Amino acid sequence: MMSVNLNALVICKKKVSFNNLPLAVYREITAHLQQVSAVEVQLMSQSSPHFDYSQSQVEALEIHYPQNLPAQEKIYLEEILSYYTQLYGDFK
């Protein structure tokens, strides 16, 4: 019989959104977060039905990682988000 670690199957999801952040910066954040082992990031397209030049093309980042992500990897994840919070303000 095969043993399965159920904790490895549980995925945590975090949605991060900064006000009026340009697409290039969202891509930069995504690139940094994807350097953390077992972390996956998706750019969520703007869902507003009205086009607005002052509005970001990205509504949010969706960050996925296993519940059993090693402590050091969680620290890296939080440090990256903290860095961008210092630059661009709190995220939603």
pLDDT digits (tens, 9 = 90+) for 24-44: 999 999 999 999 999 999 999
Give the DSSP H/E element, type plus range, for residue 25.
helix 23-33
Give the C-alpha separation, 35 to 24, whole Å.
17
Q: Is 17 helix (H, G, I), strand (E, B) or coil?
A: coil
Residue 14 near residue 69, CB atoms below 8 Å: no
What phi and psi values does residue 40 have, to the nearest 5 degrees? -120, 145
**Rounded mean pLDDT, 67-71:** 94
pLDDT reading at 1 higher than 50 = no
Residue 60, amino acid: A
Domains, the chain, ordered by start: 11-88 (3.30.70)
Model pLDDT, residue 46: 87
| Longest CA pairwise span in the chain (Å) | 57
